[in-house]
Every structure is written in structure tokens, then in C-alpha cells.
Amino acid sequence: MVLHRDAEVIEAVARASARAAARVHLKMRRGLSSLASIAATAPFVGLLGTLIGIVDSFRMSDTSKGYIAAVLSLSLASTALGLLVAIFASCFYTYLTNRLESLDTDMQNASLDLLNRLVLLKSIPDPR
């Protein structure tokens, strides 16, 4: 009867550690989808800025060519900025995702170590 109770305790500890790990995983994952969205949409925002600048330069075709070149240059800068934001957001997302996987593995290993120690403690005979 005592062995059955010990197995129940070990199973309860295993379930509790799995629930705690899932909660921590969800907390750490919060915000990663926003970062992925920024990485995915930033180039398009920059491209939209470029297209708006090009359309504006066509509207100003009767003004000086130097002004049109300045507008086009500024619109291309928006594309470069969008790409730069996307590159940094993508790299940071990848870093955080890899770090999250590493922490998940560490939590799982710690839980398994705890369970192994509990099993070892229960296998040592009671001197009484």
C-alpha cells in the first residue's frame, strides 16, 4: 500500500511540474508573435513608402528634377529602413525562439532530475 501511495505522489509531482513548465512557456512566448509580425510586415511598409514616393514624384513631373530625385531618394530610404527593421526583428525573433527552446529543455531536465531523486529517495529502505 505504501508503494502505491509513493507512486501517486511521484505522478502528482510530475503533473505539477509539467503544468508549471507550460505556464512559464506561455509567459515567455508572449510577444513573440508580435515580433514575428513586425519582421514579416516591415519590408512591405517600407515598400509602400517607396511606392507613395514614386507616385508623388510622377505627380511633380513639371517641377525641378532635383526635387524629384530628392523625393525618390527619400522614398527609397523608407524601403531601406523597412528592411533594416525586418532584419533586426527577424534576428531577434530567432534568438528569442532558440532561447525559449533552451529554457524549455532546461525546465524539462530539472523536472526529470527532481523525479529521479524522488524515486531514488523512495528506493532507499527506511531504517525504522
Residue 63: inside a domain, yes or no?
A: yes
Residue 108: inside a domain, yes or no?
A: yes
The number of folded domains in the chain is: 1
Question: 14: Cβ–Cβ under 8 A, 6 or more apart, which residues?
Answer: 111, 115
Give the domain range for residue 99: 2-123
Q: What is the pTM of this model?
A: 0.71
Q: Which helix (H) or strand (E) holds 59?
A: helix 32-59
123 has a pLDDT exceeding 90: no
Count Cα atoms within 13 angstroms, Cβ side, for 31.
Answer: 7
Residue 128: inside a domain, yes or no?
A: no
Residue 60: inside a domain, yes or no?
A: yes
Give which of 89, 72, 92, 85 is closest to 46, Cα–Cα. 85
Tens of pLDDT, residues 76-111:
888 888 889 999 999 999 999 999 999 999 989 998
Tens of pLDDT, residues 29-40:
888 888 899 889
